[in-house]
Structure 1
Amino acid sequence: MAKELAAKAKEAFVDDDFDEAVDLYSKAIDLDPNCAEFFADRAQANVKLENLIEAVEDANKAIELDPLLTKAYLRKGTACMKLEEYQTAKNALEKGASIAPSESKFKKLIDECDLRISEEEKILVQPVASPSVKADLTHVSSAPAKPKFRHDYYQKPEEVVVTIFAKGIPKQNVNIDFGEQVLSVVIDVPGEEEAYHLQPRLFGKIVPEKCRYEVLSTKVEIRLAKAEIITWASLEHAKVPAVLPKPNVLS
Protein backbone atom coordinates (compact mmCIF):
# COMPACT_ATOMS: atom_id res chain seq x y z
CA MET A 1 0.00 0.00 0.00
CA ALA A 2 2.81 2.43 0.89
CA LYS A 3 4.61 1.72 -2.39
CA GLU A 4 1.38 2.28 -4.31
CA LEU A 5 0.93 5.67 -2.65
CA ALA A 6 4.54 6.56 -3.45
CA ALA A 7 4.00 5.59 -7.08
CA LYS A 8 0.96 7.88 -7.25
CA ALA A 9 3.01 10.61 -5.59
CA LYS A 10 5.64 10.32 -8.33
CA GLU A 11 2.92 10.64 -10.96
CA ALA A 12 1.62 13.77 -9.24
CA PHE A 13 5.15 15.17 -9.14
CA VAL A 14 5.63 14.57 -12.87
CA ASP A 15 2.32 16.37 -13.45
CA ASP A 16 3.63 19.34 -11.40
CA ASP A 17 1.01 18.72 -8.71
CA PHE A 18 3.50 19.12 -5.89
CA ASP A 19 0.92 19.62 -3.14
CA GLU A 20 -0.66 16.29 -4.03
CA ALA A 21 2.77 14.67 -4.18
CA VAL A 22 3.63 15.86 -0.66
CA ASP A 23 0.26 14.64 0.63
CA LEU A 24 0.68 11.20 -0.94
CA TYR A 25 4.27 10.82 0.25
CA SER A 26 3.13 11.78 3.74
CA LYS A 27 0.52 9.01 3.66
CA ALA A 28 3.15 6.54 2.44
CA ILE A 29 5.45 7.61 5.29
CA ASP A 30 2.65 7.06 7.80
CA LEU A 31 2.47 3.46 6.60
CA ASP A 32 6.24 2.94 6.32
CA PRO A 33 8.12 5.52 8.44
CA ASN A 34 11.45 3.75 7.95
CA CYS A 35 11.65 4.17 4.18
CA ALA A 36 14.38 6.69 3.38
CA GLU A 37 13.26 6.93 -0.26
CA PHE A 38 9.88 8.35 0.75
CA PHE A 39 11.48 11.11 2.82
CA ALA A 40 13.98 11.99 0.08
CA ASP A 41 11.23 12.15 -2.54
CA ARG A 42 8.98 14.25 -0.31
CA ALA A 43 11.95 16.57 0.21
CA GLN A 44 12.12 17.09 -3.55
CA ALA A 45 8.42 17.98 -3.70
CA ASN A 46 8.85 20.36 -0.77
CA VAL A 47 11.72 22.08 -2.59
CA LYS A 48 9.38 22.67 -5.54
CA LEU A 49 6.83 24.20 -3.15
CA GLU A 50 9.55 26.35 -1.54
CA ASN A 51 8.90 24.55 1.76
CA LEU A 52 12.64 24.65 2.29
CA ILE A 53 12.87 24.02 6.03
CA GLU A 54 10.59 20.99 5.62
CA ALA A 55 12.73 19.82 2.71
CA VAL A 56 15.89 19.97 4.82
CA GLU A 57 14.13 18.11 7.63
CA ASP A 58 12.98 15.38 5.21
CA ALA A 59 16.46 15.08 3.71
CA ASN A 60 18.03 14.80 7.16
CA LYS A 61 15.59 12.02 8.06
CA ALA A 62 16.36 10.19 4.82
CA ILE A 63 20.09 10.43 5.57
CA GLU A 64 19.50 9.16 9.09
CA LEU A 65 17.61 6.13 7.74
CA ASP A 66 20.01 5.46 4.86
CA PRO A 67 23.39 7.26 5.01
CA LEU A 68 24.25 5.97 1.51
CA LEU A 69 21.18 7.43 -0.22
CA THR A 70 22.88 9.96 -2.48
CA LYS A 71 19.75 11.78 -3.59
CA ALA A 72 19.03 12.71 0.03
CA TYR A 73 22.29 14.70 0.10
CA LEU A 74 21.35 16.28 -3.22
CA ARG A 75 17.93 17.31 -1.85
CA LYS A 76 19.50 18.77 1.29
CA GLY A 77 22.12 20.63 -0.71
CA THR A 78 19.52 22.07 -3.08
CA ALA A 79 17.23 23.23 -0.26
CA CYS A 80 20.10 24.76 1.72
CA MET A 81 21.30 26.65 -1.34
CA LYS A 82 17.85 28.16 -1.77
CA LEU A 83 18.03 29.16 1.90
CA GLU A 84 21.42 30.76 1.12
CA GLU A 85 23.01 28.25 3.51
CA TYR A 86 25.91 27.69 1.16
CA GLN A 87 28.41 26.15 3.56
CA THR A 88 25.80 23.72 4.92
CA ALA A 89 24.79 22.91 1.35
CA LYS A 90 28.39 22.32 0.34
CA ASN A 91 28.98 19.95 3.25
CA ALA A 92 25.95 17.85 2.25
CA LEU A 93 26.89 17.87 -1.43
CA GLU A 94 30.48 16.86 -0.73
CA LYS A 95 29.23 13.92 1.33
CA GLY A 96 26.96 12.87 -1.52
CA ALA A 97 29.80 13.26 -4.02
CA SER A 98 32.03 11.01 -1.91
CA ILE A 99 29.39 8.28 -2.20
CA ALA A 100 28.68 8.84 -5.91
CA PRO A 101 31.82 10.43 -7.42
CA SER A 102 30.57 9.93 -10.98
CA GLU A 103 27.44 12.04 -10.42
CA SER A 104 28.14 15.35 -12.18
CA LYS A 105 25.33 17.24 -10.42
CA PHE A 106 27.29 17.28 -7.18
CA LYS A 107 30.36 18.93 -8.70
CA LYS A 108 28.28 21.58 -10.45
CA LEU A 109 26.43 22.53 -7.27
CA ILE A 110 29.58 22.42 -5.14
CA ASP A 111 31.26 24.83 -7.57
CA GLU A 112 28.26 27.14 -7.28
CA CYS A 113 28.45 26.98 -3.48
CA ASP A 114 32.15 27.86 -3.61
CA LEU A 115 31.33 30.87 -5.77
CA ARG A 116 28.58 32.06 -3.42
CA ILE A 117 30.75 31.55 -0.35
CA SER A 118 33.55 33.53 -1.98
CA GLU A 119 31.14 36.36 -2.82
CA GLU A 120 29.85 36.44 0.76
CA GLU A 121 33.37 36.60 2.16
CA LYS A 122 34.15 39.60 -0.04
CA ILE A 123 31.15 41.62 1.10
CA LEU A 124 31.08 40.50 4.72
CA VAL A 125 31.96 43.41 6.97
CA GLN A 126 32.64 42.75 10.61
CA PRO A 127 31.83 45.93 12.57
CA VAL A 128 33.96 46.38 15.67
CA ALA A 129 31.85 46.84 18.76
CA SER A 130 32.76 49.75 20.98
CA PRO A 131 33.52 48.90 24.61
CA SER A 132 30.67 51.22 25.50
CA VAL A 133 28.13 49.02 23.71
CA LYS A 134 26.11 47.28 26.37
CA ALA A 135 24.51 43.90 25.98
CA ASP A 136 20.86 43.99 25.05
CA LEU A 137 19.39 41.72 27.70
CA THR A 138 15.77 42.60 27.07
CA HIS A 139 13.77 39.43 26.70
CA VAL A 140 11.51 39.30 23.69
CA SER A 141 8.91 36.58 23.56
CA SER A 142 8.17 34.81 20.31
CA ALA A 143 5.43 32.31 19.59
CA PRO A 144 6.51 28.66 19.81
CA ALA A 145 6.43 26.52 16.70
CA LYS A 146 4.07 24.19 18.53
CA PRO A 147 2.07 24.69 21.72
CA LYS A 148 3.97 22.12 23.77
CA PHE A 149 6.78 24.40 24.93
CA ARG A 150 7.22 28.14 25.13
CA HIS A 151 10.47 29.70 23.96
CA ASP A 152 12.04 33.12 24.54
CA TYR A 153 15.28 34.73 23.50
CA TYR A 154 17.58 37.55 24.45
CA GLN A 155 20.74 38.81 22.84
CA LYS A 156 24.16 40.24 23.47
CA PRO A 157 26.35 41.93 20.86
CA GLU A 158 28.06 38.65 20.00
CA GLU A 159 25.36 36.02 20.61
CA VAL A 160 21.67 35.21 20.84
CA VAL A 161 20.46 32.98 23.66
CA VAL A 162 17.31 30.94 22.98
CA THR A 163 15.55 29.23 25.87
CA ILE A 164 13.01 26.45 25.36
CA PHE A 165 11.06 25.84 28.55
CA ALA A 166 10.98 22.05 28.38
CA LYS A 167 10.98 20.46 31.82
CA GLY A 168 12.37 17.02 32.57
CA ILE A 169 13.53 16.15 29.05
CA PRO A 170 16.36 13.56 28.88
CA LYS A 171 19.45 14.87 27.13
CA GLN A 172 19.39 12.03 24.61
CA ASN A 173 15.90 13.13 23.50
CA VAL A 174 17.17 16.50 22.27
CA ASN A 175 18.61 16.85 18.77
CA ILE A 176 19.85 20.29 17.69
CA ASP A 177 21.52 21.23 14.40
CA PHE A 178 22.97 24.60 13.43
CA GLY A 179 23.11 25.96 9.88
CA GLU A 180 24.38 29.28 8.60
CA GLN A 181 20.97 30.86 9.15
CA VAL A 182 18.84 27.95 10.35
CA LEU A 183 18.27 26.50 13.80
CA SER A 184 16.76 23.01 13.92
CA VAL A 185 15.48 21.67 17.24
CA VAL A 186 13.75 18.32 17.60
CA ILE A 187 12.70 17.09 21.05
CA ASP A 188 11.24 13.63 21.53
CA VAL A 189 8.77 14.24 24.33
CA PRO A 190 8.26 11.25 26.67
CA GLY A 191 4.70 10.00 26.47
CA GLU A 192 3.94 11.95 23.28
CA GLU A 193 3.60 10.43 19.82
CA GLU A 194 4.67 13.61 18.04
CA ALA A 195 8.01 15.30 18.59
CA TYR A 196 8.40 19.02 19.27
CA HIS A 197 9.94 20.93 16.38
CA LEU A 198 11.41 24.42 16.29
CA GLN A 199 13.03 25.19 12.94
CA PRO A 200 13.13 28.92 12.26
CA ARG A 201 15.13 30.63 9.59
CA LEU A 202 17.06 33.04 11.78
CA PHE A 203 17.11 36.81 11.50
CA GLY A 204 20.87 36.85 10.95
CA LYS A 205 23.65 34.45 10.12
CA ILE A 206 25.47 32.47 12.79
CA VAL A 207 28.74 30.57 13.12
CA PRO A 208 27.60 26.93 13.51
CA GLU A 209 30.86 25.59 14.94
CA LYS A 210 30.75 28.18 17.75
CA CYS A 211 27.12 27.51 18.70
CA ARG A 212 26.29 25.27 21.62
CA TYR A 213 23.42 24.12 23.79
CA GLU A 214 22.76 22.66 27.22
CA VAL A 215 19.88 20.50 28.42
CA LEU A 216 18.92 21.47 31.97
CA SER A 217 16.26 20.12 34.30
CA THR A 218 13.73 22.83 33.46
CA LYS A 219 14.83 24.11 30.05
CA VAL A 220 17.02 23.76 26.98
CA GLU A 221 19.39 26.70 26.56
CA ILE A 222 20.83 27.37 23.10
CA ARG A 223 23.61 29.89 22.43
CA LEU A 224 23.88 31.13 18.85
CA ALA A 225 27.15 32.81 17.91
CA LYS A 226 26.42 35.76 15.61
CA ALA A 227 28.39 35.99 12.37
CA GLU A 228 28.11 39.78 12.59
CA ILE A 229 27.86 42.07 15.59
CA ILE A 230 24.44 43.47 14.81
CA THR A 231 21.20 43.75 16.74
CA TRP A 232 18.59 41.26 15.62
CA ALA A 233 15.15 42.84 15.33
CA SER A 234 13.58 39.42 15.89
CA LEU A 235 14.61 35.80 16.28
CA GLU A 236 13.23 34.74 12.92
CA HIS A 237 14.09 36.08 9.49
CA ALA A 238 11.98 39.02 8.38
CA LYS A 239 12.28 41.91 5.98
CA VAL A 240 13.45 44.21 8.74
CA PRO A 241 16.89 45.80 8.45
CA ALA A 242 19.51 44.82 10.99
CA VAL A 243 20.79 47.52 13.31
CA LEU A 244 24.50 48.05 13.72
CA PRO A 245 25.68 48.97 17.22
CA LYS A 246 26.33 52.71 17.45
CA PRO A 247 29.97 53.63 18.03
CA ASN A 248 30.86 55.72 21.03
CA VAL A 249 31.37 59.15 19.46
CA LEU A 250 32.59 61.91 21.73
CA SER A 251 30.74 65.19 21.27
Structure 2
Amino acid sequence: MNPSPEESHSADLYAKANDAFFDDDYDEALTLFTKLVSMEPTNAEFILKRCQVHQKLNQLELALKDGESALKLLEQGSRSLLARAHLQVGITLHRLGQYVKAQSHLEQSRELNPKEKTLVTWLRKNEDKLPKDAPTATLAAATAPAPVSAPPVKATRYEWFQNDTFVTIEVFIKNVKQDAVDLNFFDNSLSLTVKLPTGSDYSLELEPLAHKILPKESSFKILSTKIEIKLRKEMIGIMWGTLEGDDQIIPMASSTPTTTAKKAKDWGALAREVDEETKPEGEQALNSLFQKIYKDADPDTQRAMMKSFVESNGTCLSTNWDEIGNKKTEVKPPEGMIAKKYE
Protein backbone atom coordinates (compact mmCIF):
# COMPACT_ATOMS: atom_id res chain seq x y z
CA MET A 1 0.00 0.00 0.00
CA ASN A 2 1.38 3.38 -1.00
CA PRO A 3 1.61 6.09 1.69
CA SER A 4 -0.99 8.82 1.66
CA PRO A 5 0.01 12.34 0.50
CA GLU A 6 -0.09 13.47 4.14
CA GLU A 7 2.28 10.68 5.23
CA SER A 8 4.65 11.45 2.36
CA HIS A 9 4.65 15.11 3.30
CA SER A 10 5.41 14.27 6.96
CA ALA A 11 8.25 11.94 6.00
CA ASP A 12 9.74 14.60 3.71
CA LEU A 13 9.49 17.28 6.41
CA TYR A 14 10.99 14.94 8.99
CA ALA A 15 13.99 14.19 6.76
CA LYS A 16 14.55 17.90 6.11
CA ALA A 17 14.22 18.72 9.81
CA ASN A 18 16.78 16.06 10.75
CA ASP A 19 19.17 17.31 8.07
CA ALA A 20 18.87 20.85 9.41
CA PHE A 21 19.53 19.62 12.96
CA PHE A 22 22.68 17.71 12.03
CA ASP A 23 23.87 20.67 9.94
CA ASP A 24 23.55 22.82 13.09
CA ASP A 25 20.83 24.96 11.46
CA TYR A 26 18.74 24.92 14.60
CA ASP A 27 16.41 27.77 13.61
CA GLU A 28 15.37 25.88 10.46
CA ALA A 29 15.09 22.63 12.42
CA LEU A 30 12.82 24.32 14.98
CA THR A 31 10.56 25.66 12.22
CA LEU A 32 10.26 22.25 10.56
CA PHE A 33 9.75 20.23 13.75
CA THR A 34 7.11 22.76 14.90
CA LYS A 35 5.26 22.18 11.61
CA LEU A 36 5.43 18.45 12.22
CA VAL A 37 4.08 18.81 15.76
CA SER A 38 1.22 20.97 14.52
CA MET A 39 0.39 18.30 11.90
CA GLU A 40 0.63 15.42 14.39
CA PRO A 41 0.27 16.82 17.93
CA THR A 42 0.24 13.35 19.52
CA ASN A 43 3.45 12.17 17.85
CA ALA A 44 5.90 11.92 20.76
CA GLU A 45 8.87 11.37 18.42
CA PHE A 46 8.34 14.79 16.80
CA ILE A 47 7.91 16.47 20.19
CA LEU A 48 11.12 14.90 21.56
CA LYS A 49 13.05 16.02 18.50
CA ARG A 50 11.80 19.57 19.01
CA CYS A 51 12.78 19.28 22.68
CA GLN A 52 16.39 18.60 21.61
CA VAL A 53 16.33 21.60 19.25
CA HIS A 54 15.13 23.84 22.10
CA GLN A 55 18.06 22.54 24.17
CA LYS A 56 20.54 23.45 21.43
CA LEU A 57 19.04 26.95 21.27
CA ASN A 58 19.23 27.19 25.09
CA GLN A 59 15.43 27.55 25.26
CA LEU A 60 15.32 25.33 28.30
CA GLU A 61 11.82 26.13 29.58
CA LEU A 62 10.37 25.26 26.16
CA ALA A 63 12.50 22.12 26.06
CA LEU A 64 11.14 21.06 29.46
CA LYS A 65 7.57 21.67 28.32
CA ASP A 66 8.09 19.46 25.24
CA GLY A 67 9.77 16.74 27.29
CA GLU A 68 6.95 16.63 29.82
CA SER A 69 4.35 16.57 27.00
CA ALA A 70 6.11 13.57 25.47
CA LEU A 71 6.13 11.77 28.83
CA LYS A 72 2.35 12.15 29.14
CA LEU A 73 1.82 10.79 25.63
CA LEU A 74 4.10 7.82 26.27
CA GLU A 75 2.68 6.62 29.61
CA GLN A 76 1.40 3.46 27.90
CA GLY A 77 3.76 3.55 24.93
CA SER A 78 7.14 2.22 23.84
CA ARG A 79 9.66 1.60 26.64
CA SER A 80 12.57 2.73 24.48
CA LEU A 81 10.86 5.98 23.50
CA LEU A 82 9.78 6.55 27.09
CA ALA A 83 13.41 6.07 28.16
CA ARG A 84 14.44 8.77 25.68
CA ALA A 85 11.76 11.10 27.02
CA HIS A 86 12.96 10.67 30.62
CA LEU A 87 16.54 11.23 29.45
CA GLN A 88 15.69 14.48 27.64
CA VAL A 89 13.70 15.77 30.62
CA GLY A 90 16.63 14.83 32.88
CA ILE A 91 19.12 16.65 30.65
CA THR A 92 16.92 19.77 30.56
CA LEU A 93 16.43 19.79 34.35
CA HIS A 94 20.18 19.35 34.82
CA ARG A 95 20.87 22.38 32.66
CA LEU A 96 18.25 24.32 34.62
CA GLY A 97 20.13 23.46 37.81
CA GLN A 98 17.37 21.19 39.19
CA TYR A 99 19.72 18.28 39.87
CA VAL A 100 17.59 16.22 42.26
CA LYS A 101 14.61 16.20 39.87
CA ALA A 102 16.97 15.48 36.98
CA GLN A 103 18.36 12.46 38.86
CA SER A 104 14.90 10.93 39.20
CA HIS A 105 14.26 11.11 35.45
CA LEU A 106 17.73 9.86 34.56
CA GLU A 107 17.27 6.87 36.84
CA GLN A 108 13.89 6.09 35.28
CA SER A 109 15.53 6.23 31.86
CA ARG A 110 18.15 3.75 33.07
CA GLU A 111 15.45 1.44 34.42
CA LEU A 112 13.64 1.42 31.06
CA ASN A 113 16.73 1.18 28.85
CA PRO A 114 20.18 0.91 30.51
CA LYS A 115 21.85 1.24 27.08
CA GLU A 116 20.18 4.55 26.19
CA LYS A 117 22.75 6.65 24.33
CA THR A 118 24.59 9.28 26.45
CA LEU A 119 22.72 8.19 29.61
CA VAL A 120 25.87 7.08 31.48
CA THR A 121 27.55 10.42 30.85
CA TRP A 122 24.57 12.48 32.04
CA LEU A 123 24.17 10.34 35.15
CA ARG A 124 27.83 10.98 35.98
CA LYS A 125 27.52 14.72 35.32
CA ASN A 126 24.36 15.03 37.39
CA GLU A 127 25.60 12.95 40.33
CA ASP A 128 28.60 15.27 40.55
CA LYS A 129 26.18 18.17 41.10
CA LEU A 130 23.88 16.55 43.63
CA PRO A 131 23.90 17.83 47.23
CA LYS A 132 25.85 15.47 49.47
CA ASP A 133 22.78 14.72 51.59
CA ALA A 134 20.49 13.97 48.62
CA PRO A 135 19.32 10.34 48.15
CA THR A 136 20.64 8.82 44.92
CA ALA A 137 19.93 5.77 42.78
CA THR A 138 16.94 4.68 44.89
CA LEU A 139 14.44 3.87 42.14
CA ALA A 140 16.81 2.18 39.72
CA ALA A 141 18.64 0.21 42.40
CA ALA A 142 15.39 -1.17 43.79
CA THR A 143 13.83 -2.24 40.48
CA ALA A 144 16.63 -2.94 38.03
CA PRO A 145 17.43 -6.63 37.32
CA ALA A 146 20.65 -8.09 38.66
CA PRO A 147 23.51 -7.33 36.28
CA VAL A 148 25.05 -10.11 34.22
CA SER A 149 28.55 -10.99 35.33
CA ALA A 150 31.15 -9.41 33.11
CA PRO A 151 34.79 -8.39 33.35
CA PRO A 152 35.20 -5.05 35.11
CA VAL A 153 35.49 -2.06 32.78
CA LYS A 154 38.54 0.05 33.44
CA ALA A 155 38.06 3.79 33.60
CA THR A 156 38.80 5.36 30.23
CA ARG A 157 41.21 8.25 30.13
CA TYR A 158 41.27 11.04 27.60
CA GLU A 159 43.62 13.97 27.05
CA TRP A 160 43.58 16.98 24.78
CA PHE A 161 46.01 19.44 23.23
CA GLN A 162 45.88 22.02 20.45
CA ASN A 163 47.58 24.12 17.81
CA ASP A 164 46.27 27.28 16.15
CA THR A 165 43.90 25.31 13.85
CA PHE A 166 42.83 22.13 15.64
CA VAL A 167 41.98 20.80 19.09
CA THR A 168 42.98 17.14 19.34
CA ILE A 169 41.34 14.77 21.84
CA GLU A 170 42.85 11.35 22.48
CA VAL A 171 40.51 8.76 24.04
CA PHE A 172 42.60 5.84 25.27
CA ILE A 173 40.68 2.66 24.41
CA LYS A 174 42.60 -0.22 22.85
CA ASN A 175 41.63 -2.31 19.80
CA VAL A 176 38.36 -0.55 18.98
CA LYS A 177 36.50 -1.70 15.87
CA GLN A 178 35.35 0.92 13.36
CA ASP A 179 31.69 -0.13 13.58
CA ALA A 180 31.76 0.15 17.38
CA VAL A 181 32.27 3.93 17.28
CA ASP A 182 29.43 6.45 16.96
CA LEU A 183 30.74 10.03 16.91
CA ASN A 184 28.72 13.15 16.09
CA PHE A 185 30.12 16.67 15.77
CA PHE A 186 28.07 19.82 16.36
CA ASP A 187 29.12 23.47 16.29
CA ASN A 188 29.54 23.64 20.08
CA SER A 189 29.53 20.02 21.22
CA LEU A 190 30.46 16.44 20.41
CA SER A 191 28.91 13.09 21.33
CA LEU A 192 31.00 9.91 21.34
CA THR A 193 29.71 6.40 22.12
CA VAL A 194 31.92 3.30 21.90
CA LYS A 195 30.56 -0.23 22.26
CA LEU A 196 33.03 -2.11 24.44
CA PRO A 197 33.77 -5.87 24.25
CA THR A 198 32.23 -6.27 27.71
CA GLY A 199 28.81 -5.33 26.33
CA SER A 200 28.73 -1.94 28.03
CA ASP A 201 29.15 1.45 26.34
CA TYR A 202 31.70 4.19 26.88
CA SER A 203 30.20 7.63 26.34
CA LEU A 204 31.86 11.04 26.14
CA GLU A 205 29.62 14.09 25.94
CA LEU A 206 31.28 17.50 25.68
CA GLU A 207 28.65 20.23 25.75
CA PRO A 208 29.16 23.06 25.46
CA LEU A 209 32.71 23.15 24.10
CA ALA A 210 34.77 26.15 25.15
CA HIS A 211 34.54 27.61 21.62
CA LYS A 212 32.76 26.78 18.39
CA ILE A 213 34.13 24.27 15.89
CA LEU A 214 33.48 23.45 12.22
CA PRO A 215 31.79 20.01 12.31
CA LYS A 216 32.26 19.25 8.60
CA GLU A 217 36.02 19.86 8.88
CA SER A 218 36.42 17.82 12.06
CA SER A 219 37.35 14.15 11.94
CA PHE A 220 38.56 11.13 13.88
CA LYS A 221 40.66 8.04 13.33
CA ILE A 222 41.00 4.79 15.23
CA LEU A 223 44.46 3.67 16.25
CA SER A 224 45.54 0.52 18.06
CA THR A 225 45.66 2.19 21.48
CA LYS A 226 43.28 5.14 21.16
CA ILE A 227 40.68 7.12 19.23
CA GLU A 228 42.11 10.40 17.95
CA ILE A 229 39.54 13.19 17.45
CA LYS A 230 40.45 16.43 15.64
CA LEU A 231 38.16 19.43 16.15
CA ARG A 232 38.59 22.19 13.56
CA LYS A 233 38.50 25.55 15.33
CA GLU A 234 36.02 28.08 13.97
CA MET A 235 38.36 30.90 15.06
CA ILE A 236 41.90 30.05 14.00
CA GLY A 237 44.56 31.36 16.37
CA ILE A 238 42.37 31.42 19.48
CA MET A 239 44.04 29.30 22.14
CA TRP A 240 41.51 27.41 24.26
CA GLY A 241 42.06 27.69 28.00
CA THR A 242 39.66 24.81 28.67
CA LEU A 243 37.99 22.10 26.60
CA GLU A 244 34.45 22.42 27.92
CA GLY A 245 32.43 25.25 29.48
CA ASP A 246 33.05 28.97 29.67
CA ASP A 247 36.32 30.34 28.35
CA GLN A 248 37.53 33.86 27.68
CA ILE A 249 38.21 34.95 24.08
CA ILE A 250 41.36 37.07 24.01
CA PRO A 251 40.84 39.80 21.35
CA MET A 252 43.45 40.30 18.69
CA ALA A 253 45.53 43.50 18.74
CA SER A 254 43.03 45.78 17.05
CA SER A 255 42.78 48.44 19.76
CA THR A 256 45.33 50.96 20.97
CA PRO A 257 47.63 49.26 23.44
CA THR A 258 47.47 50.41 27.02
CA THR A 259 50.58 51.45 28.92
CA THR A 260 51.44 48.95 31.61
CA ALA A 261 54.40 48.51 33.87
CA LYS A 262 56.29 45.48 32.58
CA LYS A 263 57.61 43.01 35.07
CA ALA A 264 60.74 41.18 34.02
CA LYS A 265 60.27 37.42 33.73
CA ASP A 266 62.77 34.60 33.63
CA TRP A 267 61.27 32.66 30.70
CA GLY A 268 63.93 29.95 30.98
CA ALA A 269 62.98 29.25 34.57
CA LEU A 270 59.33 29.20 33.57
CA ALA A 271 60.03 26.63 30.87
CA ARG A 272 61.87 24.46 33.40
CA GLU A 273 58.93 24.76 35.78
CA VAL A 274 56.50 23.51 33.11
CA ASP A 275 58.84 20.64 32.25
CA GLU A 276 59.16 19.56 35.88
CA GLU A 277 55.40 19.68 36.49
CA THR A 278 54.03 17.89 33.42
CA LYS A 279 56.89 16.57 31.28
CA PRO A 280 54.81 16.59 28.06
CA GLU A 281 56.39 15.73 24.74
CA GLY A 282 56.52 17.19 21.22
CA GLU A 283 53.66 19.51 20.26
CA GLN A 284 52.02 19.06 23.66
CA ALA A 285 55.18 20.37 25.35
CA LEU A 286 55.22 23.49 23.17
CA ASN A 287 51.53 24.03 23.77
CA SER A 288 51.92 23.67 27.55
CA LEU A 289 54.77 26.17 27.56
CA PHE A 290 52.78 28.60 25.42
CA GLN A 291 49.77 28.44 27.75
CA LYS A 292 51.88 28.88 30.88
CA ILE A 293 53.73 31.91 29.51
CA TYR A 294 50.52 33.41 28.15
CA LYS A 295 48.63 32.93 31.43
CA ASP A 296 51.26 34.73 33.52
CA ALA A 297 52.00 37.52 31.00
CA ASP A 298 50.81 41.13 31.11
CA PRO A 299 48.26 42.35 28.48
CA ASP A 300 50.88 43.77 26.09
CA THR A 301 52.84 40.51 26.13
CA GLN A 302 49.65 38.52 25.54
CA ARG A 303 48.77 40.67 22.53
CA ALA A 304 52.27 40.31 21.14
CA MET A 305 52.17 36.53 21.51
CA MET A 306 48.79 36.15 19.82
CA LYS A 307 49.61 38.57 16.97
CA SER A 308 52.99 37.08 16.18
CA PHE A 309 51.82 33.47 16.44
CA VAL A 310 48.80 33.90 14.14
CA GLU A 311 50.41 36.21 11.55
CA SER A 312 53.45 33.96 11.23
CA ASN A 313 51.35 30.78 10.92
CA GLY A 314 52.89 29.43 14.11
CA THR A 315 56.54 29.92 13.04
CA CYS A 316 57.30 32.89 15.30
CA LEU A 317 56.39 33.77 18.89
CA SER A 318 57.25 37.22 20.20
CA THR A 319 56.62 38.68 23.65
CA ASN A 320 57.68 42.22 22.69
CA TRP A 321 54.64 44.34 21.72
CA ASP A 322 56.76 47.45 21.06
CA GLU A 323 58.69 45.50 18.42
CA ILE A 324 55.83 43.83 16.52
CA GLY A 325 52.77 45.95 17.40
CA ASN A 326 52.86 48.18 14.29
CA LYS A 327 54.03 45.68 11.66
CA LYS A 328 53.02 42.31 10.34
CA THR A 329 55.00 39.35 11.64
CA GLU A 330 56.56 37.50 8.72
CA VAL A 331 56.40 33.73 8.30
CA LYS A 332 59.76 32.23 9.28
CA PRO A 333 59.87 28.51 8.42
CA PRO A 334 62.67 26.37 9.86
CA GLU A 335 65.92 26.28 7.90
CA GLY A 336 65.64 24.09 4.82
CA MET A 337 61.83 24.40 4.60
CA ILE A 338 59.61 26.59 2.42
CA ALA A 339 56.40 28.28 3.61
CA LYS A 340 53.33 27.52 1.48
CA LYS A 341 49.86 29.03 1.75
CA TYR A 342 47.11 26.71 3.01
CA GLU A 343 44.46 26.09 0.35
Select the structure with the greater relative contact order (CA < 8 A; seq sep ≥ 6).
1
Larger radius of gyration: 2
TM-score (norm 2): 0.34
**TM-score of the superposed pair, with normalisation by structure 1:** 0.46
